[in-house]
Amino acid sequence: MQLVQTCAEVRAWLATERRAERRVGFVPTLGALHAGHLSLVGVCRQAADRVVLSVFVNPTQFGPGEDFSRYPRDLERDLRLAEDAGVDVVFAPTVEEMYPFGRAEVTVDPGPLATVFEGRLRPTHFRGVATVVTKLLALVAPDVAVFGSKDAQQVVVVRQVVRDLLLPVQLLVGPTVRESDGLAFSSRNVYLSIQERVAATVLHRALVQAGDGIRFGVRDPQVVESRLRAELATEPLGTVDYAAMVDAERLEPLLTIEGRVLLLVAVRFGATRLLDNLCLRVHGSDVQEELP
Ligand code: PAF
């Protein structure tokens, strides 16, 4: 496995791969790799001959007062995990390499899907994500790129960016990987105290219960949302930022539960925000779990 840190090195490596007509897959990350990222590498390896993984804590997607400076960074460990997972190249640029002119003057407007939920609470977040993802896709020019379904709104926003900007890449979505008690793997889980870590299982529990309600025939979105909130409220250490059920493509409210639907939750435990979701395809009485 190779570590490259400049755009020129990425381009040189890619030139060889392209001459050999190999399919290149890409997994963008903020680093602090965990089982969730490694499963995305697995998805990517199935779809491509070579896997590039980026490790870049992108400053433009963190708002003022957010955890940019304390975000966990351990490149040595990330390299070991990436190599074991079968990554061919890790691209770990500096901020100066990705933003050579300082703060980017040209950015990608992620559109209306980025103004709700996470986007309402973190107004600059998705512009930062859309911009860095577009830059990385332009640089790596992968055949496929893999994103994790834990950040469901990010998947929806990035999909729209790729569609609207006609970016020549196939997006794949990898399933959320969970600890044995249901908590979704996240690099931010390390911020939780022991009590908060126990309390955080409420996100998955609330989603599972809401999903069961739908399987048992509940079709009123307001009933599902209020049950979701009621379960989240059983955990006094958590403060709910949102708990909602929306149409999975447009993130808009539903009149009834039919088609592809997405349950989204964001809960704060102290200074740590955790996200989780459940995506379902509902056709009459048939309810299947899907990737967002
Ligand atoms: O999901 C993430 O890890 C980041 O938002 C991404 C896609 C790597 C962009 O910085």
Tell me the C-alpha distance between 252 and 153, whole Å.
Answer: 12
**C-alpha 114 – ligand 1 centre gap (Å):** 14
Pocket mutation for ligand 1, best pick of 57, 61, 149 (most atoms within 8 Å of C-beta): 61
CA of 41 relative to ligand 1 center, distance in Å: 14
Q: How far does residue 82's CA lie from ligand 1's centre (Å)?
A: 16
Residue owning the nearest CA to atom 6 of ligand 1:
29
Res 273: pLDDT = 96
Q: Which pLDDT does position 152 carry in this prediction?
A: 98
Q: How confident is the model at residue 14 (pLDDT cuts 50, 70, 90)?
A: very high
Instruction: Single out the residue of 270, 273, 272, 252 nearest to residue 262, CA to CA.
Output: 252
In whole angstroms, what is the distance from residue 176 CA to residue 148 CA? 6
Domains recognised in the chain with CATH numbers: 2-174 (3.40.50.620), 187-290 (3.30.1300.10)
Please give the number of the atom of ligand 1 that sits closest to the Cα of 54: 8
Ligand 1 nearest atom to the CA of residue 56, by list position: 10
Return the residue whose CA atom lies nearest to atom 9 of ligand 1: 129
Q: What is the mean pLDDT of the chain?
A: 97
pLDDT band at 246 (very low <50, low <70, confident <90, very high): very high
pLDDT at 231 over 90: yes
Could you tell me the distance, in angstroms and rounded to a whole number, from the CA of residue 19 to the centre of ligand 1? 29
Question: What residue owns the CA closest to ligand 1's atom 5?
Answer: 129
State pLDDT tens for residues 116-150.
Answer: 999 999 999 999 999 999 999 999 999 999 999 99
Q: Ligand 1: which residues within 6 Å by Cβ?
A: 28-30, 58, 61, 129, 132-133, 151, 154
Counting atoms of ligand 1 from 1, which one is nearest the CA of 57? 10
Q: Ligand 1 centroid to 135 CA: how many Å?
A: 12
Catalytic residue IDs: 37
Query: Can you give the pLDDT at residue 127?
Result: 98
Residue 103 has pLDDT above 90, yes or no: no
Nearest CA to ligand 1 atom 1: 29
63 φ, ψ (degrees, to nearest 5):
-85, 170
Could you tell me the pTM of the whole model? Answer: 0.97
